[in-house]
Amino acid sequence: MKIEFNEDEEIVKTIQEGLKKNDGYCPCRMEKNKDTKCMCKEFREQIQDPKFEGYCHCMLYYKQK
């Protein structure tokens, strides 16, 4: 398993700026709680699935099998 940033540097830059403005909470989510703090609960659960390969919700991270 390997987790890396999206290859599109513009997406990474935009999401990282949003994270800074949002105190580390996913800029794609309305609520701010422990489940939406980057790396969000949804993606943490997805990376535990050995069959999952793909991007997190906001497209910042990509998990390879």
Tens-digit pLDDT string for the chain (65 aa)? 899 999 999 999 999 999 999 999 999 999 999 999 999 999 999 999 999 999 999 999 999 98
Paired strand residues for 63: 3, 54
Q: For the whole model, what pTM was predicted?
A: 0.90
Instruction: Identify each DSSP E strand in the chain by its residue range.
Output: 2-5, 54-55, 61-64
Enter the tokens of residue 31: 């609520």
